[in-house]
């Protein structure tokens, strides 16, 4: 069975790169009838925060990703927080040392930094020269006497390696040129990322690892480490990085591309999933709009390309707008109202807001644009183009409108039609000269949703008040 994992570190909020990795793993697992495992890599005890872990779980669930094994639901291969598995990592370190696959290394951090500086000065990769392998017993005892605490390093004995990447095809590595022996346990006894991820992938029987190309150089280390521990390495696929509009790599620390920020801006989760899926994947038929179920049926890892993806917020807005307009009026009102309440942006009567929200469905790209639209419910309007409503012709329209309102008998759209038909018989203004003053008087703005839809929602008392206010 296919088993994939998403393994975020709780050192910040999920960003667009994280969530694309989660999405591609999730879609791949579902297409293959496999399992999607969530694992929290929180061995960086200084930077890992419980609040980030909780936010990660919450954001994934909001996004529409539900894990088959992981925190809160458990599973056969737990625990799913690395901080709860330190004795397991220690056991594997000891076994590697006993097999001669790893060794205690008494090279200091300062010496390692000196090696890197020298390599950079010679325009070479900053690799470790493996000197700690060959220290004599006397040298080791001297260093112990100086209080130097050892790291544990994995021995690179087969430095040349080839692998088939699920996205990039054949890739070759020479670890002698790249890194040398690498640390799997820090001097304080905690495991490094390399050790923890390999132990977990092995014990959890992960079959496929789909992750960002920034991990490509780690993959040969992980293959060798997994094999040394007796595990069969999974198949690997490395996704291209996501770049900004100017071609620069998007920083993980940019708050504006966090899932939390997308939620705050009022994007629909399935619209965000739709957009993110297209960052590196194409269905091959130029189609751009997908519902969640359609993504699950259509996604194919073989159609993921290795070119860099460009994050385009305007395209995201367009896709979100398409999904908004596909909602029924009731769905739109329910979801928009929930957003306004969650973000504490509901300023007017909830029943009235619920009624008027569908009017704006064709005029917004995301929910955070609604508060400005809802300002038409504020009776203290700031009028655009005051000259339009201050003319003698406009005042005649408003005075006549006040005379007509008590005579109206229609309901819904018919109410506005009845109002306009009677108004046209009594005033000279026609077309734009009639409707623009009406629009500004009733909404304060030159452009907006159809007056026919707003009129019955406002109700005659509010309409009357608006005309009275504008005459003042």
Residues marked active site are found at: 252
- Give me the phi and psi of 150, to 5 degrees please: -80, 150
Written as six digits, the tokens of 318 are: 């367009």
3-state secondary structure of 182: strand
Helix (H) or strand (E) segment spanning residue 226: helix 219-228
CB atoms within 10 A of CB 114: 11
Strands (E) across 17-95 are located at 35-38
Compute the distance between CA of residue 248 and CA of residue 241 in angstroms, rounded to an integer: 10
For the chain, report the end-to-end CA distance as a whole number of angstroms. Answer: 74
Compute the distance between CA of residue 225 and CA of residue 95 in angstroms, rounded to an integer: 12
Q: Is 403 exposed, middle or buried (0-12, 13-18, 19+ CB in 10 A)?
A: exposed
Closest alpha carbon to 358 in 434, 280, 457, 447: 457
Written as six digits, the tokens of 145 are: 């006497």
């Amino acid at each position: 069975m296919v088993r994939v994992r998403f393994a975020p570190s709780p050192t910040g909020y999920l960003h667009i790169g994280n969530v694309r990795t989660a999405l591609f793993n999730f879609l791949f697992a579902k297409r293959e009838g496999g399992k999607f495992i969530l694992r929290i890599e929180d061995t960086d005890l200084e930077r890992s925060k419980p609040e980030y872990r909780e936010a990660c779980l919450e954001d994934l669930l909001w996004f529409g990703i539900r894990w088959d094994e992981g925190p809160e639901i458990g599973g056969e291969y737990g625990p799913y927080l690395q901080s709860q598995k330190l004795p397991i990592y220690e056991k594997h370190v000891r076994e590697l040392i006993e097999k001669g696959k790893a060794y205690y290394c008494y090279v200091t951090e300062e010496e390692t930094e000196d090696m890197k500086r020298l390599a950079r000065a010679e325009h070479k990769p900053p690799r470790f020269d493996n000197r700690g392998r060959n220290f004599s017993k006397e040298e080791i005892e001297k260093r112990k006497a100086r209080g130097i605490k050892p790291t544990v390093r994995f021995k690179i004995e087969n430095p040349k390696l080839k692998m088939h990447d699920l996205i990039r095809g054949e890739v070759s590595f020479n670890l002698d040129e790249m890194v040398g022996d690498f640390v799997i346990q820090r001097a304080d006894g905690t495991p490094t990322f390399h050790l923890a991820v390999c132990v977990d992938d092995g014990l959890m029987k992960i079959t496929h690892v789909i992750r960002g190309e920034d991990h490509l150089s780690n993959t040969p280390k992980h293959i060798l480490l997994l094999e040394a521990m007796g595990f069969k390495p999974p198949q690997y696929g490395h996704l291209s990085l996501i770049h900004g509009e100017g071609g620069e790599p998007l920083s993980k620390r940019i708050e504006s591309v966090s899932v939390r920020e997308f939620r705050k801006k009022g994007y629909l989760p399935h619209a965000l999933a739709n957009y993110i899926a297209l960052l590196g994947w194409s269905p091959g038929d130029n189609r751009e709009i997908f519902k969640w179920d359609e993504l699950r049926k259509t996604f194919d890892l073989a159609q993921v390309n290795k070119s860099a993806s460009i994050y385009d917020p305007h395209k995201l807005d367009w896709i979100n707008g398409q999904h908004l307009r596909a909602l029924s009026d009731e769905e739109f009102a329910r979801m928009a109202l929930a957003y306004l309440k969650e973000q504490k942006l509901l300023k007017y009567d909830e029943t009235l807001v619920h009624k008027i929200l569908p009017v704006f469905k064709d005029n917004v790209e995301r929910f955070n644009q609604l508060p400005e639209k809802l300002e038409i419910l504020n009776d203290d309007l700031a009028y655009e183009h005051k000259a339009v409503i201050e003319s003698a012709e406009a005042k005649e329209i408003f005075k006549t409108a006040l005379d007509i309102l008590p005579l109206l008998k229609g309901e819904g759209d018919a109410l506005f039609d009845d109002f306009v038909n009677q108004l046209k018989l009594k005033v000279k203004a026609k077309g734009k000269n009639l409707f623009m003053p009406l629009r500004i008087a009733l909404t304060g703005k030159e452009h907006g949703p159809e007056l026919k839809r707003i009129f019955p929602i406002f109700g005659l008392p509010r309409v009357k008040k608006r005309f009275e206010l504008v005459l003042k």
